Amino acid sequence: MLDATDRALVNLLQDGIAVCERPFADAGAEIGLDEEEVIARVRAMLDCGVLTRFGPMFDAERLGGAFTLCAMRVPRERFEEITHIVNAFDEVAHNYEREYELNMWFVIGAESHEHVTETIDAIELATGLDVVNLPKLEEFYVGLKLEV
Amino acid sequence: MNHPNQVLIGAVQEGLPLTPRPYLEIGQRIGMSEAETIRLIDDHLRDGVIKRIGVIVRHHELGFCENAMVVWDVPDARVDQVGEWLGDQPGVTLCYRRPRRPPHWPYNLFCMIHGRSRDAVSHRIHALKQAPALAGIPHAVLFSRRRFKQRGARYAFDDAEGGNSDA
């Protein structure tokens, strides 16, 4: 379990820390921890799986990747079958069932927009269902991610 | 993107080393000075290739097991202003503008809300609906039922498109 200090540290790290020679020392100074303890706590939280990564968060699109959010209206009786077909595509990630008429929601990620479009076409062909393509037009800054 | 940048991005893809001077160590791996490494990363923070130096939190491990996608049909003239505001609200983990797809999909503003329980998420949503920025705005709440696929990202982006990394 995380203690109050861990939580303060996670909240700080979610917002992002400065790039400097001693980033852990600087981050620790904001919440009254020394450098060594910051490193030890981050390592412990990575080891136990609360954190999956510490470091630069890239904007994948600016690195040349292309992504979109897709939704499908899947008949209840075909849900398992369609899930199987859709998830078999390497380009598909984060597939969720949601409570709505459009009930299957997944992300397509590929190295180009052309490849994203081709994947959507291939999914429509393989399932016989329409894919609603909802690409990101603008991302709004999200402050603190979650108050843990 | 030029060669030193690609080498640097490759070197930090797996995260920063947990040592007092991580940029010194990264620089040593790729034949750059600490100062040069810091400068390049700082450049990328400015140009947006790197969004921030931070962490990816596994929501589920922290007990944030419920998530809802909440979508709004905001007049185009107001959507930027409302989006900026919404991104800043507690519990909101993502906030994007996306296209409407009439007639089946009238919503242009998406956000993800995480919470420890469905009640907690519903409570957050209720508070948002009462706020002046969103009062009277048509919306829908899409709770997740099941997650079928979770794939490691090729790049370390915190969340590609709103599927959300863990819930």
- A36/A43 Cα distance (integer angstroms): 11
Query: Quick one: pLDDT at residue A93?
Result: 81
Q: Is the ipTM of this complex over 0.90?
A: no
Q: Is B59 on the interface with A (CB under 8 A)?
A: yes
Closest CA to B102 of A7, A96, A57, A134: A134
Strand partners, B70: B111, B141
**Inter-chain touch B93–A105, beta carbons under 8 Å:** no
Span of A74-78, A97-101, B73-77, B145-149 with lowest mean pLDDT: B145-149
pTM: 0.75
Higher pLDDT, A131 or A4: A131
Q: Which residues of A touch B53 (CB under 8 A)?
A: 16-19, 23, 55-57
Distance, CA of B32 to CA of B26 (rounded, Å): 8
CA distance B114 to B56: 14
Chain A interface includes B137 (CB < 8 A): no
Distance from CA of A115 to the nearest CA of B (A): 15
Q: Domain residue spans in chain B?
A: 3-47, 59-143
A-B interface: how many C-beta pairs under 8 angstroms? 255
Q: What angle do CA B44, B18, B33 make, to 5 degrees?
A: 50
Q: How far is CA A29 from CA A36, B18, B20, B42, B48, in A?
A: 12, 17, 14, 21, 26
Q: Give the pLDDT mean for A16-26.
A: 95
Give residue B10's identity as a one-letter amino acid code.
Answer: G
Q: Which residue of A has its CA nearest to B104?
A: A102
The three-class DSSP label of residue B67 is strand
Indicate the DSSP class of residue A102: S
Q: Is the domain covering B59-143 a CATH 3.40.190.10 domain?
A: no
Share of residues in chain B with pLDDT > 90 (%): 56
pLDDT top residue among B81 and A143: B81
A-interface mutation test, from B9, B13, B47, B57, most A Cβ less than 10 A away: B57
- Counted residue by residue, chain A has a size of 148
Alpha-carbon distance of A73 to A57, in angstroms, equals 33
Contact B156 A58 (CB under 8 A): yes
Q: What is the pLDDT of residue A30?
A: 93
pLDDT-derived band at B30 (thresholds 50, 70, 90) equals: very high
**Who contacts B23 (Cβ-Cβ below 8 Å, separation ≥6)?**
A19, A21, A23, B16, B34, B37, B38, B41
Confidence at B166, pLDDT banded by 50, 70, 90: very low
Across the interface, of B16, B94, B160, the residue whose CB is closest to A67 is B160
More confident residue, B21 or A16: B21
Q: Over chain B, what is the mean pLDDT?
A: 85
- Comparing alpha-carbon positions, the chain B residue that sits nearest to A138 is B97
First to last CA, chain B: 34
Contact A146 B57 (CB under 8 A): yes
Stretch B90-96: mean pLDDT: 88
Q: Does the pLDDT of residue A58 top 60, yes or no?
A: yes
Contact A134, B105 (CB under 8 A): yes
Chain B contacts of A133, Cβ < 8 Å? 101
Q: How far apart, in Å, are the Cα atoms of B130 and each of A10, A91, B117, B126? A: 30, 39, 20, 6
Distance CA B21, CA B43 (A): 19
User: Contact B38/A71, CB-based, under 8 Å?
Assistant: no
Q: How far is A133 from chain B (nearest CA, A)?
A: 8
Please judge whether B160 and A139 are an interchain contact, meaning their C-beta atoms are less than 8 angstroms apart.
Answer: no
List the Cα angle B89/B66/B52 in 5-degree steps. Answer: 50
